[in-house]
Amino acid sequence: YISGVSGESELGILEDAMGRVNYGVKLLDKKGILGGVRLGQRYHYGWEMYPLTMDDLSKLSFAPESGYEKPAFLRGNLHIEDTPKDTFIRLDGFTKGFVTVNGFNIGRYFNPAGPQKTLYVPAPLLKQGDNEIVVFESDSYAVPTVQFVDTPVLW
Protein backbone atom coordinates (compact mmCIF):
# COMPACT_ATOMS: atom_id res chain seq x y z
CA TYR A 1 0.00 0.00 0.00
CA ILE A 2 1.34 3.43 -0.94
CA SER A 3 -0.33 6.30 0.85
CA GLY A 4 -2.33 8.51 -1.51
CA VAL A 5 -2.03 6.14 -4.48
CA SER A 6 -5.00 4.16 -5.72
CA GLY A 7 -5.17 1.55 -8.45
CA GLU A 8 -2.10 -0.01 -9.97
CA SER A 9 1.32 1.48 -9.40
CA GLU A 10 4.73 0.76 -10.80
CA LEU A 11 7.88 0.87 -8.73
CA GLY A 12 11.24 1.19 -10.44
CA ILE A 13 14.46 0.58 -8.54
CA LEU A 14 17.85 1.53 -9.91
CA GLU A 15 20.55 -0.54 -8.29
CA ASP A 16 24.22 -0.04 -8.91
CA ALA A 17 26.91 -2.67 -8.66
CA MET A 18 29.51 -0.57 -6.87
CA GLY A 19 31.49 -2.37 -4.22
CA ARG A 20 32.25 -5.98 -4.96
CA VAL A 21 34.02 -8.54 -2.83
CA ASN A 22 36.87 -9.92 -4.93
CA TYR A 23 38.55 -12.25 -2.45
CA GLY A 24 37.86 -15.07 0.01
CA VAL A 25 34.64 -17.00 0.56
CA LYS A 26 32.41 -14.25 -0.85
CA LEU A 27 34.16 -14.24 -4.23
CA LEU A 28 30.84 -14.91 -6.00
CA ASP A 29 29.38 -11.63 -4.77
CA LYS A 30 26.03 -11.50 -6.60
CA LYS A 31 24.31 -8.20 -7.28
CA GLY A 32 20.68 -7.37 -7.80
CA ILE A 33 17.49 -7.93 -5.87
CA LEU A 34 17.95 -11.45 -4.61
CA GLY A 35 14.65 -11.77 -2.72
CA GLY A 36 11.62 -9.70 -1.93
CA VAL A 37 11.52 -5.95 -1.48
CA ARG A 38 9.56 -4.71 1.50
CA LEU A 39 7.37 -1.70 0.84
CA GLY A 40 5.55 -0.66 3.97
CA GLN A 41 4.77 -3.93 5.75
CA ARG A 42 4.40 -6.02 2.60
CA TYR A 43 7.01 -7.97 0.66
CA HIS A 44 6.92 -7.84 -3.14
CA TYR A 45 8.44 -10.55 -5.34
CA GLY A 46 8.68 -11.37 -9.02
CA TRP A 47 10.82 -8.45 -10.12
CA GLU A 48 11.67 -7.98 -13.74
CA MET A 49 15.35 -7.09 -13.81
CA TYR A 50 17.41 -6.03 -16.76
CA PRO A 51 20.89 -4.53 -17.07
CA LEU A 52 21.54 -1.03 -18.31
CA THR A 53 24.63 -1.82 -20.36
CA MET A 54 25.50 1.80 -21.13
CA ASP A 55 27.03 0.71 -24.45
CA ASP A 56 25.41 3.33 -26.69
CA LEU A 57 24.78 6.69 -25.01
CA SER A 58 23.99 8.55 -28.26
CA LYS A 59 20.18 8.45 -27.84
CA LEU A 60 20.04 9.79 -24.30
CA SER A 61 18.22 12.80 -22.98
CA PHE A 62 20.58 14.88 -20.91
CA ALA A 63 19.76 16.63 -17.63
CA PRO A 64 19.62 20.41 -17.18
CA GLU A 65 22.62 22.30 -15.88
CA SER A 66 21.07 23.23 -12.53
CA GLY A 67 20.93 20.91 -9.50
CA TYR A 68 19.08 17.66 -10.09
CA GLU A 69 18.12 15.04 -7.52
CA LYS A 70 17.59 11.86 -9.49
CA PRO A 71 19.71 9.71 -11.77
CA ALA A 72 20.83 11.82 -14.71
CA PHE A 73 23.17 11.95 -17.66
CA LEU A 74 25.05 15.17 -18.32
CA ARG A 75 27.12 16.02 -21.38
CA GLY A 76 29.82 18.55 -22.03
CA ASN A 77 32.87 19.16 -24.18
CA LEU A 78 36.56 19.58 -23.55
CA HIS A 79 38.16 21.57 -26.36
CA ILE A 80 41.88 20.90 -26.88
CA GLU A 81 43.92 23.24 -29.10
CA ASP A 82 47.34 21.52 -28.90
CA THR A 83 48.49 17.91 -28.70
CA PRO A 84 46.47 16.05 -26.03
CA LYS A 85 48.31 15.04 -22.89
CA ASP A 86 47.48 12.74 -19.98
CA THR A 87 45.14 14.43 -17.55
CA PHE A 88 42.92 13.74 -14.55
CA ILE A 89 39.26 14.65 -14.19
CA ARG A 90 37.78 15.97 -10.91
CA LEU A 91 34.06 15.76 -10.18
CA ASP A 92 33.80 17.74 -6.94
CA GLY A 93 30.19 18.85 -7.49
CA PHE A 94 28.97 15.30 -8.09
CA THR A 95 28.19 12.44 -5.71
CA LYS A 96 28.30 8.99 -7.31
CA GLY A 97 28.42 7.65 -10.85
CA PHE A 98 30.72 7.13 -13.82
CA VAL A 99 32.36 9.17 -16.60
CA THR A 100 32.96 8.50 -20.30
CA VAL A 101 35.32 10.45 -22.54
CA ASN A 102 34.72 10.12 -26.28
CA GLY A 103 32.63 7.00 -25.60
CA PHE A 104 35.27 5.28 -23.45
CA ASN A 105 34.39 4.53 -19.82
CA ILE A 106 37.02 6.27 -17.69
CA GLY A 107 35.75 4.90 -14.40
CA ARG A 108 33.38 5.43 -11.54
CA TYR A 109 33.52 7.91 -8.71
CA PHE A 110 32.01 8.11 -5.23
CA ASN A 111 33.00 11.45 -3.77
CA PRO A 112 31.87 11.06 -0.16
CA ALA A 113 33.70 7.71 0.13
CA GLY A 114 36.83 8.28 -1.95
CA PRO A 115 39.64 7.48 -1.69
CA GLN A 116 40.59 9.10 -4.99
CA LYS A 117 39.19 12.45 -6.04
CA THR A 118 40.34 12.23 -9.66
CA LEU A 119 40.06 9.74 -12.53
CA TYR A 120 42.91 9.21 -15.00
CA VAL A 121 42.27 10.21 -18.63
CA PRO A 122 45.10 8.94 -20.87
CA ALA A 123 46.17 11.13 -23.80
CA PRO A 124 45.35 8.53 -26.51
CA LEU A 125 41.64 8.82 -25.61
CA LEU A 126 41.69 12.55 -26.31
CA LYS A 127 41.89 14.35 -29.64
CA GLN A 128 42.53 17.86 -30.86
CA GLY A 129 39.28 19.78 -31.04
CA ASP A 130 36.12 18.81 -29.16
CA ASN A 131 36.05 15.81 -26.83
CA GLU A 132 32.70 14.59 -25.50
CA ILE A 133 32.44 14.15 -21.73
CA VAL A 134 29.39 12.24 -20.40
CA VAL A 135 28.74 11.93 -16.67
CA PHE A 136 26.16 9.54 -15.25
CA GLU A 137 25.16 10.75 -11.77
CA SER A 138 23.12 8.22 -9.81
CA ASP A 139 22.41 10.35 -6.74
CA SER A 140 22.50 14.14 -7.08
CA TYR A 141 24.80 16.93 -8.11
CA ALA A 142 25.18 20.48 -6.88
CA VAL A 143 27.57 21.92 -9.46
CA PRO A 144 27.52 20.29 -12.90
CA THR A 145 31.10 21.10 -13.83
CA VAL A 146 34.18 18.96 -14.08
CA GLN A 147 37.76 20.10 -13.81
CA PHE A 148 40.79 18.72 -15.63
CA VAL A 149 44.03 18.78 -13.62
CA ASP A 150 47.57 17.62 -14.36
CA THR A 151 48.17 15.68 -11.13
CA PRO A 152 46.05 13.06 -9.35
CA VAL A 153 44.27 13.80 -6.08
CA LEU A 154 44.24 10.61 -4.06
CA TRP A 155 42.61 12.18 -0.98
CA atoms of 39 and 12, how far apart (whole Å)? 12
Burial of 87 (0-12, 13-18, 19+ CB in 10 A): buried
Q: What percent of the chain has pLDDT over 70?
A: 83
Per-residue pLDDT at 144 exceeds 50? yes
Check if the beta carbon of residue 131 is closer than 8 Å to that of residue 122: no
Question: Of the candidates 63, 80, 60, which has an alpha carbon nearest to the alpha carbon of residue 72?
Answer: 63
**Residue bearing the bigger pLDDT, 105 or 40:** 105
pLDDT score recorded for residue 20:
63
pLDDT score recorded for residue 1:
43
Q: What is the pLDDT of residues 18-67, one digit of tens each?
A: 666 666 776 666 666 777 788 788 888 777 777 777 777 777 777 766 65
